[in-house]
Amino acid sequence: MKGLVALLVVGLVGGCAVFGGDMPVRVAGTLPNGAPDQAPTVCTIGIALVPAADVRAERTIAGSFETTFVIEARPRTYQFIASCDDGWSFRSAEYPLGGKGSFNKRIDLGVLR
């Protein structure tokens, strides 16, 4: 009986990894260079669902960056939105993420312009 319960628990937990739950997605890029006499600004990047531009999470970034977001493990379309407190902003292309092949996927945005 204990073996059956253990097998059931492992099956349920393992099923979450395959059929639901969350998965990490990595995003990298480089902020454009500011003027040398500018004071440093605070910049963030967020991951948003498309088309609503509903930002799900944000991270502080600087210079060349790489950060991780956790998304739902189901196919959806996302966009990365960056901004700095000096008024600069950026929107990436749209990315289909969360489905097959998305686990720990690395998206390189290059220089954000």
Domain spans in the chain, listed from the N-terminal domain onward: 22-33+41-111
3-state secondary structure of 11: helix
- Average pLDDT along the chain: 84
Multiple choice CATH, 22-33+41-111, 2.40.30.10, 2.60.40.2190, 1.20.120.140, 3.20.20.10? 2.60.40.2190
Residue 13, pLDDT above cutoff 90: no
Q: What is the mean pLDDT of residues 42-54?
A: 91
| Predicted confidence (pLDDT) per residue in 18-37, tens digit | 456 999 999 999 998 765 55
Question: Considering the entire predicted model, what is its pTM?
Answer: 0.77
Q: How much of the chain, in percent, has pLDDT values that exceed 90?
A: 65
* Closest among 57, 104, 106 to 81, alpha carbons compared: 57
Q: What is the mean pLDDT of residues 32-50?
A: 80
56-70: b (≥16 Cβ within 10 Å) or e: eebeebeeebebebe
